Amino acid sequence: MSETAAMQLGDHVGRMYRVALRIVGDANDAHDIVQDACVKALRNVARFDGRAAPATWLHRITVNCARDHLRARRRAIRDGLSMNDEITGMLAATETMPSARAERRELYDIASTLVESLPDDCRSAFILTQLDGYSYDEAAIIDNQPRGTMASRVFRAKKILLEQMNARIDGRTQS
């Protein structure tokens, strides 16, 4: 990554922030994590061999920084962090988010709760594309999967979520 490309870190800051925020759940901590990730990226820019897109390289650095932050915050670690930790922060962070239309807010609350229950493979695909905002191509590189597999997993995650969400909404409607 050239110095010029390094300056373009600003293009990736939004997504890095969302990744950090959904893991740690605190806006200030997420801001600090992004700062740390930027520093690490620039310190290691010589090691960036260009095989992966900068977005995917920065994603990995951001996730590692966020996990380091969580580890520092916790007393005990069990086999590293579970996948559920990837969105624990998101659920906490949503409490401070401004709500839009009530219906959209309800859907959002349901979706964010149900994401935890998704199977591991399609949960990762869903988080990367629907929450972090990566394209299918970028998410495929991050998860080391073909694009077609990524598209299939995203669809499967959505289908499961929609079925569960509809069941919840229908259950509330009938009661």
Partner 1 sequence: MKNKTDEILLSQLADGELESDQINDVLLDVLDDADRSRQLAEHLRLRQSLGQWRRQKPAGPVIAVSDHPKRYHFPWRLGGLAVAAMLGGALVLAGIWAAGDLGRNDKNGGLPTLDTVTAEQMRQVASVFALRESVAGPLKWYAADDEKIQLASARGSEVGRKPVAVLLRLAPTGADSAQARTYVIVCRDRESATIEFPQAGGASTVRLHLLPGVRDGKVNIQYAITVDGPELAPKTSAALSGQRLVGLEHTPLGQLALADELVNVDASAWVIRKGLK
Residues making contact with partner 1 (CB under 8 A): 2-4, 6-7, 9-10, 13-14, 17-18, 21-22, 27-28, 30-32, 34-35, 38-39, 41-43, 90, 94, 97-98, 100, 104, 107-108, 111-112, 129-133, 135-136, 151-152, 154-155, 158-159, 161-162, 165
How near is the Cβ of 142 to partner 1 at its closest, in Å? 15
Cα distance between residue 16 and residue 22, in whole Å: 10
How near is the Cβ of 152 to partner 1 at its closest, in Å? 6
How near is the Cβ of 12 to partner 1 at its closest, in Å? 9
Half-sphere exposure of 114 (CA within 13 A, CB side): 21
Cα distance between residue 23 and residue 2, in whole Å: 29
Nearer to partner 1, 21 or 67 (CB): 21
The length of the chain in residues reads 175
Sign of CA dihedral 51, 53, 56, 58: positive
Nearer to partner 1, 53 or 151 (CB): 151
167 phi, psi to nearest 5 deg:
-65, -40
Q: Distance between alpha carbon 91 and the CA centroid of its chain, in Å?
A: 12
Residue pair 108/90 in contact (Cβ under 8 Å)? The answer is no
Nearer to partner 1, 17 or 57 (CB): 17
How near is the Cβ of 76 to partner 1 at its closest, in Å? 25
How near is the Cβ of 28 to partner 1 at its closest, in Å? 7
Largest separation between any pair of C-alpha atoms in the chain: 60
Segment holding 34, helix H or strand E: helix 27-43
Nearer to partner 1, 27 or 53 (CB): 27
Nearer to partner 1, 15 or 67 (CB): 15
